[in-house]
Structure 1
């Protein structure tokens, strides 16, 4: 059994800085956010204090005072991988049972001791999921009565098996989670089979539609952004905002979010323009582009969440690396939030950049992932897809001369900021 008490002050005590943290969204059938799978990877730097990623997971959870689970998942559920050692350990007093789902890895043996421990934890209000289920093995059948969720990886299971297993588990009243859903077709297949939840980045893949035009409200925001970035005076900007009532109301709501950090409530458009300044106003207009489809009944919350998290994390990373250059952090935010606009608009990034004038460094970052901003964007994309791309993180950090010490701290700050923004934006 792992000793993971919070009072361990010995030389082998683990700190958050020794891990990378990945957060992958889990969506419901309406593509609204339901939860996140939290993935921890041991950073291959410094002394090796842990032997595997699951031990890393347990250690980080045990040090919850450093991690801040609420900051990491907001109002959503957090899915966390566990094995027999973690299940038999004493980390559970540190976990908010109503906020986490414990994912049992598919290689774990369902011994009598483990089954008894899981029953005990279920009795205390903890929820469990079976991860990467590919069939009805003896271990799966033994664990099935104790779990609420069954997860199936779209990369590891053929459609023919899926068609047999999904009805079987649904009959047992299990919630089905499809993992690694990367295409719209996979999403539709799982939807038809009755899956409840979906994990994967299918929602962030651009579906390019030739000749597609921006909606009137998106065009209004884009025109306003052009005014803001040009030499137009404040009164001209105000008049443009007032021409679209919903735009004006949404902007006032957004600029009063805690994430803005205004010392007083902003009650008028003139005040918003004056208090925020041009760069901040441009930022909130960029965010509104992602929020606008949600208001028309299209569930774009995951894309809004991903874009705002990317933008904020790029901004924080740039601020850490070049602290004396405020403009660099502002540009980094723009690169992050623009990096998903091809998905948002359904048109290619090249076409978008023909409509939105940007500098050459921003263009290079968005089209080829090159230059300083391109390296930041690559790093954030690797963290988002930590399962398959974690080996790219260290070289990218090295290229940026960035240490691992602050990475998780900056990530959590970005998660918390994005969660605040999305609550107000929708």
Structure 2
């Protein structure tokens, strides 16, 4: 089982300077064998988007291992340099495209670290002028003690912070201090601590394809509609946009417009690469959530004073205790959905709360007496209620049918 961990990196005074976030095979305590670095990075970024890097690092910089192709595709543009640093993990020859991508990210304020640096690695030397930190493996490097001291002195004279990694004993820690390293990382100082397993909020397989089609057509309304039909993607988008922006957005359309088509496409790529697809059991929960959302929207259209957009989101996240593992009101606060939706979850006597109660009432029954009562409340015919139920079920079925494995 793969887990996402963070490990503290300490300064010379023994204080936490920053963190590294990494994937581990829980049973072996090391990077999972055979895992594509691009997928690993996408899984970590997906987690950072959901949790928020400022929370992961307790306000300190969090370094993420990133392969070159991720930078060249501009996918790191989605994150803020205030809380996220980049540790380049790359074995292939450094090219101009990579250097240009690094130069652009540095100009935006990102901090770079180069892992397992050595002056004998000629291909790595162009990175030296771009990076802020250099990591050297205390146990496995090509230098004797005198050479290592000289290398550290040269790097520090160039303004680089030098990190000793893989410190496992007190003796190794003392040696690293004597060598003059600036920062220290290893299980002697701090073991990687579990953040979560890699099961981030899932999404429907069909959503990614439909998102790309809408983005290619530059169809904001179509893109909004696609995202609205997926609980997981709606959660990711709202969480990400509200993390990135000082303004808070409570509808999917506002979030898409604020993020823009290009960045929404990048977010879709990262999420797709993580391959956290909804499984059969989750798809059935999605179907229920979509049914509730659609029916709540239709009720709001006919119920005096109803807000379609708010009613839809109300229904969509009403099963979040089962889908996302959190109370619906807490999710609404986290996603800045607005006080009206929060109150609806906590107090069914509110306008939207009453609509949600009617939706729940009709979810498991189409009893003629119940339908007639709901029809009188909404001031419509029982036939129209049956039509709304059928339309909501067909919509939920059609969206989720393509995503069942």
Which structure has more RCO (C-alpha within 8 Å, separation ≥ 6)? Answer: 1
The TM-score normalised by the length of structure 1 is: 0.40
